[in-house]
């Protein structure tokens, strides 16, 4: 069935290609093709995003070296990762508002400028406090980059080829964090930890310079007042939740439980107030983070699946190095090499998965993907004290295949089910869920591991046996959760503008498909 929507789109995304006059049909139609200017912008954003996201997990393997060189405790060292995640959780929800009020060029220069300055500060840090400051500045730039990339792609990419482009974004979001420990292991085997930032700095500065010279504005901002109360509530809500989750695992290891649960409680209560505030503000299109995205059933289900997937990814990134080094006795470099094939495989599969999405839609990819992720989780749950490193490698590779089949369809279907005026808000929501789910997965896996290991230690088991038992218990819980994703995968349908011509897969309400020709 062919239908043309010609009614004006409220607050259509500023600066989308073509006129914004509602009387012009081009104002409500998605682009038919990408121009050379658009391809240049997307390519530059993809490369820059890969560099900034890589830094989220690059410090995990370096923590022992930091503790030794800076004479700090394990609890303090963990803050170089916790502070990064915390800053991301606070800044990302605000980007939905910011991206509608700044140009593409301004947002990119701000993101890469902040990231470059933060990287320089980290590379020259004389002590822990300065290093921590640098990580916060880095994360501020990173938090802007990912929603900017997704919003730009949704604005300039024709619906029929979004899967292919989102496949490239999947490389950034899924592969970059997975490669972080591997690259860190390589660098630390021959250089000081400061080179983790020194080697990235020229790449970041080069991307910044190239963006300043070549990137053009793809959006035209509109003026609006920021709701200060929403900003405060957002920071307290998402910051409190991520901080509380990130400290739950540590508190299980001994002390600090009250602070962790207090922060989590404050975060959850404030989140309720934040949601209530947005529901009021969105009536006049003044919300900091527009929750009308959840009126799309496709978006809602995709977000749930994305949360489960990110929990699996980040939980595995945390557990496998612990198991490899403390149970199997492998070095940091060996551990990084074990995780390298899975990360590379995700990157290799992502473009093919994107093309398959454009041709077949999400369900044919998501259902097998969710099933494979669950199989991998149950396989990893068999790891024990005497397991072979090959079993660990196999489990990680199988998990990577499953996640590769899921990420691209989830990103594409979720954002493709929204109207253009909600793209930036949807992108911010996706980024926020990634951070919260990553923190939740890490907290859940580490808490189960710690609790089980403590129980085994109390019964007289040795450190290796206790750690192996804790890893087994954590993966077992993860395997049970992964089963829930399989039936949910059947509920993700083709957005109306995805170019598949299935009118039965329409989405209603404010989260309906972007206006255009169907």
**Helix/strand/coil for 517:** strand
Alpha-carbon distances, residue 489 vs 60, 184, 309 (angstroms): 32, 34, 12
CA dist 475 and 441 (Å) reads: 11
Nearest to 47 by CA among 115, 122, 120: 115
Fold of 33-511: Growth Hormone; Chain: A; (1.20.1250)
What is the DSSP code (8-state) at residue 173? I
Q: Which pLDDT score is estimated for 9? A: 37
- For 158, residues 6+ apart whose C-beta sits below 8 A from its C-beta are 30, 31, 32, 33, 34, 499
The DSSP-derived string for 62-118 is: THHHHHHHHT--HHHHTHHHHHHHHHHHHHHHHHHHHHTTS-HHHHHHHHHHHHHHH
13: phi then psi, degrees, rounded to nearest 5: -55, 120
Query: Tokens at residue 99, please?
Result: 């991206």
CA dist 299 and 294 (Å) reads: 6
- Give one word for 16, left, alpha or beta, with left for phi > 0 and alpha for psi -120 to 50: beta
CA dist 501 and 128 (Å) reads: 56
Whether 409 and 362 have beta carbons less than 8 Å apart is answered as yes
Q: Which pLDDT score is estimated for 220? A: 65
**Helix/strand/coil for 4:** strand
> Could you tell me the residue ranges of all domains in the chain?
33-511
pTM of the predicted model as reported, rounded to 2 decimal places: 0.74
Whether 411 and 430 have beta carbons less than 8 Å apart is answered as yes
* Residue tagged 């990814």 (tokens): 313
Helix locations, 362-422, DSSP H = 363-380, 389-416
Going from the first residue of the chain to its last (518 residues), give the mean pLDDT of each consecutive group of 10, the final group possibly shorter. Answer: 37 36 37 73 85 78 80 75 81 80 86 94 91 92 86 79 76 72 80 89 91 77 76 88 74 62 89 91 82 88 86 78 82 77 83 86 90 91 87 90 87 84 83 81 81 84 86 88 87 61 34 30
Helix locations, 100-194, DSSP H = 104-123, 128-156, 162-170, 176-188
CA dist 293 and 280 (Å) reads: 15
DSSP β-bridge partners for residue 517 = 4
CA dist 425 and 99 (Å) reads: 9
Query: Tokens at residue 211, please?
Result: 């963006």
């Amino acid at each position: 069935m062919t239908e043309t929507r010609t009614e004006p789109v409220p607050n259509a995304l500023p600066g989308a290609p073509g006129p914004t006059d509602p009387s012009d049909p081009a104002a409500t139609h998605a682009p038919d093709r990408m121009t050379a200017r658009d391809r240049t912008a997307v390519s530059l954003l993809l490369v820059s995003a890969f560099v900034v996201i890589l830094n989220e997990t690059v410090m995990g393997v370096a923590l022992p070296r930091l503790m030794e060189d800076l004479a700090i405790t394990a609890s303090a060292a963990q803050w170089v990762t916790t502070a990064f995640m915390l800053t991301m959780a606070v800044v990302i929800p605000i980007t939905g508002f910011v991206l509608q009020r700044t140009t593409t060029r301004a947002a990119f220069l701000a993101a890469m400028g902040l990231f470059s300055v933060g990287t320089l500060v980290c590379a020259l840090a004389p002590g822990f406090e300065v290093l921590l400051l640098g990580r916060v500045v880095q994360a501020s730039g990173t938090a802007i980059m990912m929603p900017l990339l997704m919003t730009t792609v949704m604005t300039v990419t024709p619906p029929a080829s979004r899967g292919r482009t989102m496949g490239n974004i999947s490389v950034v979001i899924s592969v970059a964090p997975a490669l972080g420990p591997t690259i860190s292991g390589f660098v630390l085997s021959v250089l000081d930890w400061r080179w983790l930032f020194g080697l990235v700095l020229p790449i970041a500065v080069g991307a910044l310079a190239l963006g300043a010279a070549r990137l053009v504005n793809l959006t035209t901002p509109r003026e609006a007042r920021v709701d200060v109360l929403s900003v405060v509530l957002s920071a307290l809500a998402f910051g409190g939740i991520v901080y509380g989750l990130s400290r739950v695992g540590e508190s299980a290891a001994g002390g600090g439980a009250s602070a962790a649960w207090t922060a989590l409680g404050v975060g959850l209560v404030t989140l309720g107030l934040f949601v209530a505030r947005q529901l009021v503000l969105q009536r006049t299109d003044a919300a900091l983070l527009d929750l009308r995205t959840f009126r799309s059933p496709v978006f809602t289900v995709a977000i749930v699946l994305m949360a489960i997937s990110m929990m699996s990814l980040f939980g595995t990134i945390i557990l496998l190095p612990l198991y490899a080094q403390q149970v199997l006795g492998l070095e940091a470099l060996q551990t990084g090499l074990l995780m390298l094939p899975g990360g590379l495989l995700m990157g290799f599969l992502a473009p093919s998965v994107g093309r398959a999405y454009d041709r077949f839609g999400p369900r044919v990819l998501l259902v097998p993907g969710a099933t494979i992720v669950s199989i991998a989780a149950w396989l990893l749950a068999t790891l024990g004290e005497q397991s072979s490193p090959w079993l660990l490698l196999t489990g990680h590779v199988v998990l990577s295949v499953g996640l590769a089949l899921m990420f691209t369809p989830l990103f594409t279907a979720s954002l493709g089910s929204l109207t253009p005026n909600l793209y930036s808000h949807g992108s911010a929501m996706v980024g926020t869920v990634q951070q919260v789910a990553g923190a939740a997965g890490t907290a859940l896996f580490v808490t189960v591991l710690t609790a089980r290991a403590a129980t085994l230690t109390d019964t007289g088991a040795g450190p290796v046996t206790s750690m192996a038992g804790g890893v087994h218990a954590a993966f077992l819980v993860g395997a049970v959760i992964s089963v829930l994703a399989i039936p949910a995968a059947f509920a993700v349908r083709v957005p109306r503008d995805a170019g598949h011509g299935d009118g039965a897969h329409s989405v209603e309400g404010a989260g309906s498909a972007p206006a255009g020709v169907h």
